[in-house]
Amino acid sequence: MARTRTILSGIMALWICAAAIAQTLPQETPEQYQQRMDWWQQARFGLFIHWGPVSLKGTEIGWSRGGERRGTGGTGEIPVEEYDNLYKRFNPVRFNAQEWVALAKDAGMKYLVFTSRHHDGFSMFDSALTDYKITNSPFGRDVARELANACHQTNLRLGFYYSPPDWHNPDYRTENHARYLDYFHGQIRELCTNYGRLDILWFDGLGGTAKDWDSEKLFPMIRSLQPRIVINNRAGLMADHDTPEQEIGKFQNSRPWESCITICNQWAWKPDDTMKSLKQCLDTLILCAGGDGNLLFNVGPMPDGRVEPRQADRLREMGAWLRQYGKSIYATRGGPYKPGQWGAATYQSNRVYLHILNWSDKTLTLPPLPCKVTGSSLMTGGKLTFTQSDQAIEIAVDPKDQQDIDTIVVLELDKPANTIAPINIHSASLASGKKATASNVHQKDPNYGADKAFDDDDATRWATDGGTHQAWLQVDLGKPTAFNRVMINEACPPGRIQKFQLERLEGDAWKPFFEGKTVGEKGEFKFETVTAQQVRLNILEATEGPTIWEFQILPPEKKN
- pLDDT for 15 equals 38
- pLDDT for 26 equals 54
- Provide the 8-state DSSP code for 271: T
- pLDDT for 459 equals 74
> In angstroms, rounded to a whole number, what is the distance separating the alpha carbons of residues 81 and 361?
59
- DSSP-assigned beta bridge partners for residue 475: 436, 535
Whether residue 530 contacts residue 511, with contact meaning beta carbons closer than 8 Å, is answered with no
Residue spans of the domains in the chain: they are: 44-327, 335-419, 436-554
- pLDDT for 3 equals 31
Beta strands in 95-156 (DSSP E): 111-117
Cite the DSSP H helix spans in 176-308: 177-194, 210-213, 215-225, 278-290
Question: CB-hemisphere CA count at 13 Å for 37?
Answer: 25
CA distances from 42 to 39, 200, 330, 331, 509 (A): 5, 15, 6, 4, 55
> In angstroms, rounded to a whole number, what is the distance separating the alpha carbons of residues 140 and 145?
12
Whether the domain at 44-327 and the domain at 335-419 fall into the same CATH topology: no
Q: Which residues of the chain have pLDDT under 70?
A: 1-26, 492, 558-560
- pLDDT for 559 equals 54
Question: Is the C-alpha dihedral spanning 346, 352, 353, 357 positive or negative?
Answer: positive
Whether residue 172 contacts residue 70, with contact meaning beta carbons closer than 8 Å, is answered with yes
CATH superfamily for 44-327 is: Glycosidases (3.20.20.80)
Consecutive H or E run containing 47? strand 45-49
- pLDDT for 558 equals 61
- pLDDT for 428 equals 80
CA distances from 220 to 28, 36, 239, 300, 480 (A): 12, 16, 11, 32, 61
> In angstroms, rounded to a whole number, what is the distance separating the alpha carbons of residues 258 and 180?
29
Starting at the edge strand that comes first in sequence, how are the strands of the sheet with 333-334 ordered?
333-334, 343-348, 351-356, 407-413, 373-378
CA distances from 127 to 105, 185, 201, 303, 405 (A): 28, 12, 17, 22, 45
Amino acid at 31: E
- pLDDT for 491 equals 81
CATH dotted code for 335-419: 2.60.40
- pLDDT for 424 equals 85
Residue 257 in 3-state DSSP? Answer: strand
CATH topology of domain 436-554: Jelly Rolls (2.60.120)
Residues shown for the chain = 560
Whole-structure pTM over 0.85, yes or no?
no
Pairing between β-strand 436-438 and β-strand 509-516 as defined by DSSP bridges: unpaired
> In angstroms, rounded to a whole number, what is the distance separating the alpha carbons of residues 140 and 116?
15
- Provide the 8-state DSSP code for 380: T
Cis peptide bond upstream of 368, omega within 30:
no
